[in-house]
Structure 1
Amino acid sequence: MAQSRNTILIVLAFFAIYVIWGSTYLLNKIAVQELPPFMLASIRFTIAGLLIFLICKLTGIPLGITKKQLINTSIAGFLFLAFGNGFVVWALRYVDSGFAALEISAQPLVILLMMRILQGKKIQPLSLIGVAIGILGIYLLVSQQQLLNRENSVLGMVMIFFCMISWAYASLFVGKADLPSNYFVNTGFQMFAAGIILMIGSLLIGEPWTSPTDWSNPVLYSMLLLIIFGSIVAFTAFNYLLKVVSPEKVATSTYVNPIIALLLGWFFLEEEITTQSAVAAVVLLTGVYFINTRKKIVLFTRFSGKFGTKDEL
């Protein structure tokens, strides 16, 4: 009976990291068409952080952290979420949600190169092949003339690339940083800090804030789904899977998320999936596979702030 229950939980958890995380691109795209990007991201992470604090209080999880941990969670929150996610939302005004997900799927490649540059990590032959294939996939993705002709699309592509650099550096930072040992507490502080940083940034650049009562139903539902499922449920599922299944299996979300995002963007927003985009997706994800394969797993938790590698990269 217990084993059957665990199997069901594992299936549901994989559904969360596959489909829910894959759907966040669509949800952000819907919301950012009506709401200012930094306001949108600020509300999402501030409320999600507060809800996590409330859950911790109700379940008896202590929220006390040291001053150093508060500083480090704030830095991680800025790198991962305020910049790394906030500017992706900003870029979604100019690029399709599926395109953004495909470009971000190259994240393991960026982390690998940054570890080589900043830490001198040796890159194994299979990973070198993955880097070469991944670069080709990125070129095929971003060189499409119909995309380049869209207004500010290049700016959106470049900004997403800088977001990946921010995520990669954050992954290395938190690997050595003193952070709260409880993943849920760690996440709560990162999200809340990011939400406040995004709020300050939004107010400084003069974004117009509106009440949820003025939002359209699609935007309101998207925000609720982003807060509850995209930020809390999927994160909890991710950390649960890290404890009960192998890292290789959890890493498969790297391949599934962009496919889910492409299909959802095509179905709900009528985003075009070109032949070149499809080829680029296959090439890029093949490169990511070579980077992640076997003992070269590169994992970073989107919100927990923990980064891990196995053996040489």
Structure 2
Amino acid sequence: MLIILAFFAIYIIWGSTYLLNKIVVTEVAPLYLASIRFSTASVLIFIIAKVLKLSLVISKRQFLNNVFAGFLFLVYGNGVFVWALKYVDSGFGALEASIQPLMVLIMMRMIDGKKIQKKSIIGISLGIIGMYLLVSQDQIVFQENSLIGIIMIFTCVISWSWGSLFVARAELGPNYFVNTGYQMLCSGILLSFVSLLFGEVWLSPLHWSVSAQWSMGLLIVFGSIVAFTAFNYLLKEVSTEKVSTSAYVNPVIALILGWYILDEQITGQSVVAAIILLTGVYFINSRRTIKPRMHGR
């Protein structure tokens, strides 16, 4: 049941962050937005952990592992991805990001020598086809220096995939919730420095619109604290390629929420693309779910 709830979090909640980020980023610089989101979430996590009497003590090695994981996921994987969208269409960015499950399987093959199952190959192929149908409805616009954007997004996919495999194996600490706090604290601080480096304008949250303030609140509580903790938990409990299927489900959820809340149009091609995407997820997730426990971890 806990695994099912965790998948609900990374599928549904993370799918909603597309909408929430879209609302906030119209008023707030993207890297500054991310730094506030992750820094505030980390403080709340540590407060809740103390109330629940969870130990915040981790070893130096565990702390450094959490810093590295946070960098791969949130600073590089998330921050650089947003920056790269200046040079390519967001639809193309989503399409390129959909190769993440394939990248995870290739890395697992290279690192562990793990054989790629036929069902996984079918699922990933359907996922990429579905994502192409989803984003190809809007003409993909290649701007000046688009090659830079394409290359940087590809490195973000590698970073997120590497981070997923790293967390699945690394010694991070006994509590998933506390681990999330350390990853977000370090990432929030690093992102604030990067934001200043890029010369972003820092506008006080008091001067944001009410919708932006509420959206940021939901991003912090659900998108960061709940969903990212669930993500860390799943990487330890199920195979990494199954966790990466969120790259297929999130755009479908975003599509539905955009239609329901912002009155965005859903075309017949979008419906077909969503069905193909979710069928791909079924193929990848239809194999054994629970990881065999490894002694000495």
Give the TM-score normalised by structure 1. Answer: 0.75
Q: Using the alignment, how far apart are the partners of 2:274 and 2:95 within structure 1? A: 7
Identity of aligned residues (%): 59
Letter of the 2:254 counterpart: A
Is the alpha carbon distance of 1:35 and 1:29 closer, same or farther for their aligned partners in structure 2, counting shifts above 3 Å?
A: same
Tell me by how many angstroms 1:140 deviates. Answer: 3.4
Q: Deviations over 1:260-290 (max 9, x none)?
A: 2111123334444444443333333323322
Unpaired stretches in structure 2, ≥5 consecutive residues: none
Deviates more, 1:170-179 or 1:221-230: 170-179
Which of 72, 75, 99 lines up with 2:68 in the alignment? 75
RMSD: 3.8
Q: Using the alignment, how far apart are the partners of 2:257 and 2:265 within structure 1? A: 11
| Structure 2 match to 1:197 | 190
Q: Using the alignment, how far apart are the partners of 1:258 and 1:283 within structure 2? A: 12
Is the alpha carbon distance of 1:246 and 1:135 closer, same or farther for their aligned partners in structure 2, counting shifts above 3 Å?
A: closer
Q: Using the alignment, how far apart are the partners of 2:292 and 2:266 within structure 1? A: 33
Tell me by how many angstroms 1:164 deviates. Answer: 2.8
Q: Using the alignment, how far apart are the partners of 1:241 and 1:121 within structure 2? A: 19
SS at match of 1:85: helix
1:22 paired with 2:22, answer: no
Q: Using the alignment, how far apart are the partners of 1:252 and 1:163 within structure 2? A: 14
Which of 117, 120, 138 lines up with 1:146 in the alignment? 138
Tell me by how many angstroms 1:179 deviates. Answer: 0.9
Letter of the 2:58 counterpart: I
1:209 paired with 2:208, answer: no
Q: Using the alignment, how far apart are the partners of 1:173 and 1:11 within structure 2? A: 22
SS at match of 1:63: coil
Is the alpha carbon distance of 1:256 and 1:51 closer, same or farther for their aligned partners in structure 2, counting shifts above 3 Å?
A: same
1:109·1:291 contact (CA, 8 Å) conserved in 2? Answer: no
Q: Deviations over 1:193-217 (max 9, x none)?
A: 1111111111111111111111111
| Structure 2 match to 1:305 | none
Deviates more, 1:39-48 or 1:50-59: 50-59
Tell me by how many angstroms 1:28 deviates. Answer: 0.8
1:174 paired with 2:167, answer: yes
2:77·2:157 contact (CA, 8 Å) conserved in 1? Answer: yes
Is the alpha carbon distance of 1:242 and 1:42 closer, same or farther for their aligned partners in structure 2, counting shifts above 3 Å?
A: closer
Q: 1:291-302 alignment to 2 at 5 Å?
A: 291-295=284-288, 297=289
